[in-house]
Amino acid sequence: MSLFKSKTSFLLSLFLYTLILTGLLLYFRFPAEKFKTYCEVNLSKLMPGTECSIDRIHYSFPCSLAAETIRISSNKLNKQELFTIEQALISPDISALTSQLQVKLSAFAGIHTFSLMLGPEEKEFTLKDIQINNLDPSRIPFLGQATKRKIVGNVDGSGHYHGIWKNGKYSADGAGQITLQKGSFSLLLPIFSLNSIDLKKLTSNFVLKENTLECSNGTFYGQELKGSFSGSLSLKSTLKAATLSFKGALEPLPPLLKKNTHAKKMLLLLKKQSKRGTVPFLLKGTVQKPSFKFES
């Protein structure tokens, strides 16, 4: 009986909240254009060096606001498009109406959700319970521009993120896990005579602290290669300038060795030098100009 009463109370509260919100929006004639401008200005402030445009903001039944086609571009002379979000659906969290919102994004060929918590200060926020589903990295223009290579696949992930402005400086921290399936990425220079690496699956844990993204327990496998990796990405003012410091091990698989005698000879030589069943490697340099070498 108590469970029934609780459920009934919750549904009644939701109905009343929806009814009141609808009434207020109709009575005051929801100022969509002014609110749209407010959101555009503040999103641009949230991401320095960018400009934001939103095609339309409207009420969505029962108790949400929908922002349609959010475009983020560089505010430099060339005005390069960074990425586009097809729709953002923003709803109040019934358990914390004044401080928490539920956000659902349609972007990059997938659906992504998180809870937005606003901190006691105006410039503090937390993204909780982030869920990334079926994200296609090839749909993010600035990623291809920064790396100068083609990256495709289906990305899933989860985690949390906290950001704050203090004394004129922005800092952030977070953590999570990421998985890429049925993907591939092109190489600037061949590895084992391969110009690209096809992946069945890649997984990694990550921790963001200050300006460093630490990756751990990274593994991947495909038709021709499998391996493991760990390391860090030191973030800079632009992604292409971020510095890499990774190490790991590669293992060419039979399909590659069968069709590539050069790779087979190289593997035997490197295995003999390292006295391991896998070939260790180092990845340094920057995102746009990486430096890869086998470690003896």
pLDDT at 31: 62
Question: What digits encode the pLDDT tens for the residues 75-102?
Answer: 776 677 888 999 999 888 776 655 688 8
Per-residue confidence band for 153, with pLDDT thresholds at 50, 70 and 90: very high
Q: How many whole angstroms separate alpha carbon 190 and alpha carbon 135?
A: 27
Say what the pLDDT of residue 244 is.
Answer: 95
Domain boundaries, the chain: 1-29
Is the predicted pLDDT of residue 252 greater than 60, yes or no?
Answer: yes
CB 89 within 8 A of CB 66: yes
pLDDT tens figures, 165-195: 777 777 889 999 999 999 998 888 888 888 8
Q: 3-class DSSP state for residue 47?
A: coil
DSSP 286: B
pLDDT in tens, 59-71: 777 778 888 999 9
State the first-to-last Cα distance of the chain, in angstroms, to the nearest integer: 70
- Dump the DSSP string for 21-46: HHHHHHHHT--HHHHHHHHHHHHHHH
Torsional sign, CA 72, 148, 206, 107: positive
The band of 3, judged by pLDDT with boundaries at 50, 70 and 90, is: very low
Confidence of residue 245 (pLDDT cuts 50, 70, 90): very high
DSSP character for 242?
Answer: P
Residues forming a β-bridge with 148: none
Q: Above 70 in pLDDT, residue 296? A: no
Average pLDDT for the chain: 82
Q: Give me the percent of the chain exceeding a pLDDT of 90.
A: 37
Neighbours of 270 (CB within 10 A): 20
pLDDT: is 257 or 89 the higher one? Answer: 89
